């Protein structure tokens, strides 16, 4: 077990977790110091996944992915992001217009876009081109909250 896993297990001790490592045959490709921590979502659609190692951790929720280093500041940032997801203070926004897709992580600090889904660098605040295309092609959008019954969306930011 690595120090990120130790910190996250302590931080998430009140949550229902499943832990996977290379001792389970389906996860044999993980290194000895890697774990996958799954935070079970008992009231929503998606679990929260954390892959940890000695040098970094990856947070995955729905289509969103973010990498954190093993510094104390980054581990604190990871804990903060997890807390924001678990309390519905942040969520994942996915806009789909085949073959285009943008995945964003919406928090009180604005929207971060998943780089490999935003190859044109579109930003809902600075470019309407993508949104006009979606509206014309009858594209769709999805809002992924930890607890769907308590979602709060700022409608002025999104397609209507």
Q: What is the mean pLDDT of the chain?
A: 85
What's residue 3's pLDDT? 93
Three-state DSSP at 66 gives: strand
pLDDT, tens digit (0-9, with 9 covering 90-100), for 43-73: 888 999 999 998 999 999 999 999 999 999 9
Three-state DSSP at 123 gives: coil
Question: How far apart, in whole angstroms, are the C-alpha atoms of residue 129 and residue 97?
Answer: 12
Question: How far apart, in whole angstroms, are the C-alpha atoms of residue 99 and residue 133?
Answer: 11
């Amino acid at each position: 077990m690595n120090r990120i896993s130790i910190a996250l297990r302590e931080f998430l001790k009140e949550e229902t977790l499943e832990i996977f490592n290379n001792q389970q045959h389906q996860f044999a490709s993980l290194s000895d110091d890697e774990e996958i921590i799954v935070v079970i979502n008992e009231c929503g659609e998606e679990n929260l996944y954390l892959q940890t190692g000695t040098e970094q951790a990856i947070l995955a929720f729905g289509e969103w992915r973010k990498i954190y280093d093993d510094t104390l500041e980054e581990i604190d940032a990871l804990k903060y992001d997890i807390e924001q997801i678990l309390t519905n203070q942040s969520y994942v926004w996915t806009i789909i217009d085949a073959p285009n897709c943008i995945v964003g992580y919406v928090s009180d600090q604005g929207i971060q876009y998943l780089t490999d889904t935003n190859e044109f660098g579109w930003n809902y605040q600075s470019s309407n081109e993508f949104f006009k295309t979606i509206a014309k092609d009858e594209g769709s959008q999805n809002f992924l909250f930890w607890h769907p019954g308590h979602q709060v969306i700022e409608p002025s930011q999104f397609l209507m």
